[in-house]
């Protein structure tokens, strides 16, 4: 089981690292665009499209699994805090099972959408040819990361016999 937990951890570290690289690229791209506008009175064509369709999508979805793996998502457990430990564990297991179902469905649907977009060569409406089908793949990659992170947290909670 430790091998599985480490594999999930490293998968989510990898996707979070990719999200960080995307963030640095986005910052560089936007800074360069502002510099070109300010100093050269020009523009970099496609900055808005790149930021909207690629950078922001990858930044949000690729980091999602890492955040879940570290239990850093927002939680409202006001009532659960006051319950006995076995009840907390039961609620946590129930929430994890619901999370596995939910993120499993999101993964499956986003995977189908990414495959369809790739086959069609999906493009955005623009004054130039701008392919957006590659960005569609950030969603299934991110959702599988979350799915595995929820699974890892569920296994940890069961082995420790306490809610995380």
Give the pLDDT confidence of 17-44 residue by residue, as tens digits.
999 999 999 999 999 999 999 999 888 8
Give the pLDDT confidence of 65-119 residue by residue, as tens digits.
899 888 877 777 777 777 888 888 888 899 999 999 999 999 999 999 999 999 9
Q: Where are the alpha helices (DSSP H) in 70-137?
A: 85-120
Using alpha carbons only, how large is the chain's radius of gyration in Å? 20
Enclosing domain of residue 65: 2-160
Query: Rounded mean pLDDT of 118-124?
Result: 88
The position carrying tokens 């502002």 is 34
How far is the C-alpha of 69 from the C-alpha of 66, rounded, in Å?
Answer: 5
Q: Total domain count for the chain?
A: 1
Contacts by 26-30 with C-beta closer than 8 Å and gap 24+?
A: 26/50, 26/51, 26/55, 26/56, 26/59, 29/55
Q: Is the pTM of this model over 0.95?
A: no
């Amino acid at each position: 089981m430790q091998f599985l937990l480490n594999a999930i951890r490293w998968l989510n570290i990898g996707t979070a690292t990719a999200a960080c690289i995307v963030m640095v690229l986005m910052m560089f791209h936007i800074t360069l665009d502002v510099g070109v506008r300010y100093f050269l009175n020009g523009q970099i064509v496609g900055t808005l499209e790149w930021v909207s369709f690629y950078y922001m999508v990858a930044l949000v979805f690729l980091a999602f699994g890492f955040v879940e793996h570290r239990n850093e998502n927002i939680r409202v457990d006001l009532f659960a805090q006051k319950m006995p430990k076995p009840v907390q564990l039961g609620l946590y297991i129930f929430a994890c099972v619901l999370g596995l179902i939910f993120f499993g469905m999101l993964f499956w649907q986003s995977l189908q959408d990414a495959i369809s977009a790739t086959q069609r060569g999906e493009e955005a409406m623009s004054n130039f040819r701008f392919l957006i089908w590659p960005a569609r793949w950030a969603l299934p990659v991110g959702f599988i990361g979350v799915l595995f992170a929820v699974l890892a947290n569920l296994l940890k909670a069961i082995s420790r016999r306490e809610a995380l």
